[in-house]
Amino acid sequence: MIRDPETFNILLDTVSRLVREKLIPREEEVTEADEIPADIVADMRTMGLFGLTIPEEYGGLGFTSEEEVLTSMALCYASPVFRSRVGTNTGIGAQGIVIDGTAEQKQKYLPRLATGEITGAFALTEPESGSDAGSLKTTARRDGDYYVLNGTKRYITNAPEAGVFTVMARTDLQSKDAKGVSAFIVERNTPGLSVGPADRKMGQRGSHTADVIFDNVRVPVSSIIGGKEGQGFKTAMKVLDKARLNIAAVCVGAAERLLDEALRYAKERQQFGKPIAEFQLVQAMLADSKAEIYAARSMVLEAARKKDNGTSITMEASCAKLFASEMVGRVADRAVQIHGGAGYMQASAVERLYRDVRLFRLFEGTSQIQQLVIARHMLRGD
Ligand code: CAA
């Protein structure tokens, strides 16, 4: 659903201009420095990108799902690390509070998350609990009016930048599965909370992940999301439903960029006396990529519209994430292939993007987890 097409198109044009005039020209700089320059973060703040999906009453833009995915596609025409800086905040870093938070929690955190004054991060994964998220071991032991958190979270996007974390921890200490898990809002400066050094990753330079360590971190009882124990795993899954659809949109944006890079190169590069774009084997790679991007784009938009109509899209989000993340992997591979040796060189955007997009088949649920979610829904007859 697009609430006001005229206003929305103006914003989308502004995002596209930002992408072409400011973000793409500075991708190399971001890769070299492993940092998004402060002036770009400031520009993204001014445009409201940190609060895209936070309700308007809390200072965000209150985007519908369709508006959100179209914006992510446009933004991810530039390196996906720019989206990661804002998207993790407006997405998994804030949505636990948006979806399940109490009125007081929303009032306390959402306005500052919406402006980008503080960055939110989502702390689910642990050293021994990745795909089997319900088996997490971080504990939250009740002690009077407080909970005491102990444990380690791993690969937490934006942890070095974060001011507030949504932390899934076990409140039923006897339990071993999803039922004993609760979600907490934990502020960065809480004593006992520390962030490890930034991870050295295959790609996505400029977007940071790190361990978050909880050593007897005391948080007030009021920081449990929704005020009720045992709901944290469901909160995390609801957040991921939304996030997975958005990652599918991110994949579409990145694939469109990769294909444009490949097409431009194919038209310029001469071999056997003519541009390689005139050879049918190259055309086949371009055409397959175009068709697959169109399919992914259509899936994402259909699922987003369904969500805006109030229908649960758990299965559709997994279908879109599975297809789009695998699709962008194939498109990236073809883009490198079309570039030949030039695509293997670090000076080439497709070499960098090839490594960046590999992440999309892994995070926010691997392709195999998406298959599992889809099959479970099919077997249940949903
Ligand atoms: N919405 C609401 N509730 C949901 C739900 C959803 N989408 N999915 C599950 N639930 C509920 C179930 O109904 C069930 O409730 P009841 O007990 O009341 O019946 C409860 O949650 C437990 O569900 P399951 O039995 O299905 O749980 P499971 O242990 O079998 O796990 C899983 C299911 C799909 C495998 C899940 O563990 C999963 O998604 N794993 C992947 C984790 C993941 O995506 N991690 C990514 C971390 S974030 C990230 O990567 C980004 C970053 O940068 C940090």
343 close to 350: Cβ distance less than 8 angstroms? yes
51 close to 114: Cβ distance less than 8 angstroms? yes
Residue 197 confidence (pLDDT): 98
Tell me the C-alpha distance between 243 and 191, whole Å.
Answer: 30
198 close to 158: Cβ distance less than 8 angstroms? no
Tell me the C-alpha distance between 310 and 6, whole Å.
Answer: 24
> What's the average model confidence in pLDDT over 137-156?
98
Q: How far is the CA of 324 from the centre of ligand 1 (A)?
A: 20
> What's the average model confidence in pLDDT over 213-229?
98
Q: How far is the CA of 63 from the centre of ligand 1 (A)?
A: 25
pLDDT > 70 fraction of the chain, expressed in percent and rounded: 100
Residue of 83, 237, 378 with the most ligand 1 atoms within 8 Å of its CB, for mutation: 237
Q: How far is the CA of 365 from the centre of ligand 1 (A)?
A: 9
Indicate if the pLDDT at residue 291 is higher than 90: yes
pLDDT in tens, 46-63: 999 999 999 999 999 999
pLDDT in tens, 84-131: 999 988 999 999 999 999 999 999 999 999 999 999 999 999 999 999
pLDDT in tens, 241-268: 999 999 999 999 999 999 999 999 999 9
21 close to 39: Cβ distance less than 8 angstroms? no
> What's the average model confidence in pLDDT over 13-32?
97
pLDDT in tens, 160-204: 999 999 999 999 999 999 999 999 999 999 999 999 999 999 999
Computed over every residue of the chain, the mean pLDDT equals: 97
Residue 176 confidence (pLDDT): 94
Catalytic hit among 67, 256, 292, 364: 364
Tell me the C-alpha distance between 63 and 54, whole Å.
Answer: 7
382 — pLDDT class (breaks 50, 70, 90): confident
Q: List, chain by chain if needed, residues with CB within 6 Å of any ligand 1 atom.
A: 92, 122, 124-125, 131, 133-134, 155-157, 178-179, 233-234, 237-238, 240-241, 314, 363-365, 369, 372-373
Q: How far is the CA of 229 from the centre of ligand 1 (A)?
A: 16
Go through the domains of the chain in sequence order and give each one's CATH number. Answer: 5-115 (1.10.540.10), 120-229 (2.40.110.10), 234-380 (1.20.140.10)
- Quick check: is 29 catalytic? no
45 — pLDDT class (breaks 50, 70, 90): very high
SS (H, E, C) the chain: CCCCHHHHHHHHHHHHHHHHHHHHHHHHHHHHHCCCCHHHHHHHHHCCHHHCCCCHHHCCCCCCHHHHHHHHHHHCCCCHHHHHHHHHHHCCCCHHHHHHCCHHHHHHHHHHHHHCCCCEEEECCECCECCCHHHCCCEEEEECCEEEEEEEEEEEECCCCCCEEEEEEECCCCCCCHHHEEEEEEECCCCCEEECCCCCCCCCCCCCEEEEEEEEEEEEHHHEHHHCCCCHHHHHHHHHHHHHHHHHHHHHHHHHHHHHHHHHHHHHCEECCEEHHHCHHHHHHHHHHHHHHHHHHHHHHHHHHHHHCCCCCHHHHHHHHHHHHHHHHHHHHHHHHHHHHHHHCCCCHHHHHHHHHHHHHCCCCCHHHHHHHHHHHHHHCC
Q: Which protein residue has the closest C-alpha to ligand 1 atom 1?
A: 238
Q: Which protein residue has the closest C-alpha to ligand 1 atom 23?
A: 178
Residues near 55 by beta carbon (within 8 Å), at least 6 away in sequence:
62, 98, 110
**The total number of residues written for the chain in this structure:** 382
From the CA of 125, give the closest atom in ligand 1: 47
